[in-house]
Amino acid sequence: MSHHKLTAAEPAGGAKPRVAVLFGGRSSEHAVSCVTAAGVLGAINKDKYEVIPIGIAKTGQWVLAADDTAQWSLSGTSLPEVVPSQQTVTLAQIGGEHQLIVAAPNEVPQELGAVDVVFPLLHGPFGEDGTIQGLLELSDTRYVGAGVLASAVGMDKHYMKVVFAAAGLQVGPYIAVTDRQWQNDAESVRKQVDRLGFPVFVKPARAGSSMGISKVDSLDGLDAAIEEARRHDLKLVIEAGIVGREIECAVLEGRGADAPRTSMPGEISVAGGTHEFYDFTAKYVEDDAAALSCPADLPEEAITRVRELAAAAFDAVGAEGLSRVDFFYTPDGQLIINEINTMPGFTPKSMYPQMWAASGLDYADLIDELIHLALNRKTGLR
């Protein structure tokens, strides 16, 4: 069992930093997270880091997982899944170290050793929303990516817009709808939506991977779309449809006091006809439904603006580590911010790593840089 004190960057005695890779999770993006883990487990530099894969089952239970790229990859139509077992893994502060403990019924809990940093490869609620980050803060364990507040703001499509607007970023017209409003006065919600003008996009406020999102062309389809979104979250955001190209930019925290680094922007083009927008199947299921191109074919001036706005969005929510910032680029040249993702898709084929690759930072180096940033950032007040 390795025992070493947590230090910044390099642990004492030349031991490799121990990185716990956390994936799966309770959200509807469980399978997506497993696929991300397959990518990271396959690319992380094992000469430099000791890797401990930990899966979170859909029940929320943590289990020791196989360091097996194939098991967590998408193969054919079956989605990878972490299954609960008798053994449970927890994280605790013991003797000033951040220990992984394995417990099973009727057995004495066992220490798995100290962890230097956690890499939460989790998307959606209970992963990307500040809850895991809070747990890691409480156990005083360093981790990759945004802290509690930034994660929570980045998860909530309503508060995200409030913060962006306050920072002077351009957000599209929208309304937020709470459970109480829908239950008590659905008619006023319908009226407000009618005022936004159709089409609208009805979204769960806190979901991801396009889950529960519908494009609605008239009042007729509104109630059904609202009920569908409410299956994911009782809080909704309803937005006016924006005509524009989907442009994204990858942001990576700067080292030390440096400003955030931004990638070349990329573009998502969704094959028309079968997909009205960048929905779940276009994202993950059908290989050729969406094309990611990077760098996006944009005028120099627009590229500069995208990168500045992406860094401003990162700072507006107080993000750390990494974020992907998504915009609509309208025919008249406006850049309307759609969202920030504090734990963006992170398979080798995902937009975030692709944008860095196109900007000169490959997947393995990107993982290394994120771990470096995390090892050098203390916990507390995040």
Ligand X SMILES: Nc1ncnc2c1ncn2[C@@H]1O[C@H](COP(=O)(O)OP(=O)(O)O)[C@@H](O)[C@H]1O
Q: Which is nearer to ligand X, 98 or 283 (by Cβ)?
A: 283
d(CA 337, CA 115): 37
In this chain, which of 71, 99, 209, 347 binds ligand X, going by CB under 6 A? 209
d(CA 330, CA 99): 50
Residue 154 sits in the site that holds ligand X (CB under 6 A)? no
In order of 246, 264, 296, 333, the CA distances from 300 in angstroms are 17, 11, 10, 12
In this chain, which of 172, 265, 266, 345 binds ligand X, going by CB under 6 A? 172
| Residues 24-63: x where in contact with ligand X by CB under 6 A, - otherwise, as a string | ----------------------------------------
The window from 103-111, 138-146, 236-244, 247-255 that contacts ligand X (CB under 6 A) reads 236-244
Cis peptide upstream of residue 260 (ω within 30 degrees of 0): no
Q: Which is nearer to ligand X, 274 or 376 (by Cβ)?
A: 274
Residue 213 sits in the site that holds ligand X (CB under 6 A)? yes
Residues 285-344 that bind ligand X (CB under 6 A): 326, 338-339
Residue 156 sits in the site that holds ligand X (CB under 6 A)? no
Within 236-355, strands assigned E span 236-240, 245-252, 261-262, 266-270, 290-293, 322-329, 335-341
CB atoms within 10 A of CB 85: 14
d(CA 193, CA 226): 11
Q: List the structure tokens of 320.
A: 């750390």
Helix (H) or strand (E) holding 202: strand 200-204
Q: Which is nearer to ligand X, 244 or 260 (by Cβ)?
A: 244
In angstroms, give the least distance from the CB of 94 to ligand X. 38
Q: Which is nearer to ligand X, 97 or 339 (by Cβ)?
A: 339
The residues that touch ligand X, with contacts defined as CB under 6 A, are: 172, 201, 203, 207-210, 213, 239, 241-242, 246, 277-278, 326, 338-339
